[in-house]
Structure 1
Amino acid sequence: MRIISGQFRGKKINAPSNLPVRPTTDFAKEALFNVLNNHYDFDEISILDLFSGIGSISLEFASRGSKRIVSVDQDAGCVKFLSEMIQSMNLGEVNSIVRNDVFQFLNRNSFGNFEVIFADPPFVFEQTDYDKIIQLVKENDWLKPEGELVLEHSSHIQFDEHPHLLQTRKYGNVHFSFFDFES
């Protein structure tokens, strides 16, 4: 796995094999950032990366110039790995890492709101878990009015009838669903 674009383009992210992660593939990540690039100037937005794992998405945003990134994961090994990556890339002023259960984190907003919230929960999550993420983001005002929540999920999770769904993009086995709360 590598950083696709920006200041750290081509940098490899080699996480230890004992970490419980399923990183977004380079193919899917590149497609996701192509979509987001049409909506945002990365150096002007803030990012909340939920279930950040080894930080592939957080590091990609940092490489593209995002100035405020909050990464949340409950696994101590993942948090340690991402902390080491951030330190080695001198990104400490950009990226904050929170070790916490995402649902507990989302219950109380002490971080303000964000233009982009990305969530890549474990694929074993059920539809109700995804719905809970959407509900907590909306109820606790995590998203700026012009912002989008992006959920990465498998094909068995469907949002076709959700009132805040903007679109779903499919890249192989990976699906990205985009939500806003303006409507």
Structure 2
Amino acid sequence: MRVIAGRFKKTKLVAPKTFSTRPVLDQVKEAIFNILFNISDMQVLDLFAGSGSMGIEALSRDAAHCTFVENGKLALKAISENIAKCSLQPENLVIPTSVQSAITQLEKKKKSFDLIFVDPPYLKNLLNPTLAKLAKSSLIHEESIIVAEHHPKEPIEADKLGLVLTDERRYGQTLISFLALCPQKEEDV
């Protein structure tokens, strides 16, 4: 696993040695960032961060900031090692807690993000509850992009969540879904 492009290009990243963490394949990561194209100056949130490779890739491609959320001990160690390998500054924050708790904490701090990666363990019923909490939170705005990595047997219920599916790609047993907030409908006055 490595950083694909940008200022940290070719930096080898470590992955936690655990069954519950799946490092994103380079092919999938490259496809995601090709679709996103320009993420310069974006505020990024990496939920279920694992090794932190998605957030680090975003920073390598000139995102302004990344907040990593992870609660697995081995994954947190990997994130710390990867941040150190890239000589990232302390303004890039790691929150060592559950995603649900982190969303609440970040709302209290009045944080807002332009790009959110959501990559929960497959088939653990974490995807839709996380997206539901995000959609109702102040962490995202009408321009925010949510990129969810999930198993095809765990479909996203976008319409029920107040989100719209803008793009979806399949890579083997991995679905990458791009989501945004549903546009607010003007009410008749």
Q: TM-score, normalised by structure 1?
A: 0.88
Paired residue for 2:68?
71
Question: Who is 1:170 aligned against?
Answer: 170
**1:87 deviation in Å?**
2.4
Aligned ranges 1:32-111 → 2 under 5 Å: 32-37=32-37, 41-108=38-105, 109=107, 110=109
Q: Distance in 2 between matches of 1:120 and 1:12?
A: 20
Q: How far apart in 1 are the matches of 2:91 and 2:60?
A: 10
Q: Does structure 2 conserve the Cα–Cα contact (< 8 Å) formed by 1:152 and 1:175?
A: yes
On the 8 A contact 2:14/2:51 being kept in 1, the answer is: no
**Equivalent residue of 1:66, what SS?**
coil
Q: Is structure 2 residue 1 aligned with structure 1 residue 4?
A: no
2:130 maps to which of 128, 133, 142: 133
Structure 2 counterpart SS, 1:180? strand
Q: Which string of whole-angstrom CA distances, capped at 9 and with x for unpartnered residues, describes residues 8-40 of structure 1?
A: 111111335357420111111110111111xxx
Asked which structure has the greater CA Rg, the reply is 2
Distance in 2, Cα, partners of 1:46 & 1:144: 12
Equivalent position amino acid for 1:104 in 2 = S
2: CA distance between counterparts of 1:71 and 1:87? Answer: 14
* Separation (CA, whole Å) in 1 of partners of 2:95 and 2:19: 17
147-156 vs 76-85, which deviates more?
76-85
Asked whether the equivalents of residues 70 and 99 of structure 2 are also in contact (C-alpha less than 8 Å), the reply is: yes
- Are 1:117 and 2:125 counterparts? no
Q: Measure the CA separation in 1 of the matches of 2:70 and 2:45.
A: 11
Letter in 2 for 1:168: E
User: Aligned pair in 2 of structure 1 residues 14, 134: CA closer, same or farther (>3 Å)?
Assistant: closer
Q: Do structure 1's residue 159 and structure 2's residue 156 form an aligned pair?
A: yes
% identical aligned pairs? 29
Q: Distance in 2 between matches of 1:165 and 1:155?
A: 15
Aligned to 1:14: 14
Query: 1 CA distance for matches of 2:81 and 2:48?
Result: 17
Closer, same or farther: CA 156–178 of 1 in aligned 2, 3 Å = same
Aligned-residue offset at 1:94? 4.7
Show structure 1 runs of 5+ residues with no match: none
What is residue 187 of structure 2 aligned with on the other side?
none
- Gaps (5+ residues) in structure 2? 184-189
What is the identity, as a one-letter code, of the residue corresponding to 1:61? Answer: A
Say which SS state the counterpart of residue 60 (structure 1) adopts.
helix
Question: Structure 2 length as normaliser, TM-score?
Answer: 0.86
Question: Aligned residues, how many?
Answer: 178
For the Cα contact (< 8 Å) 1:19–1:78, is it kept in 2? no
Aligned-CA RMSD value: 1.9
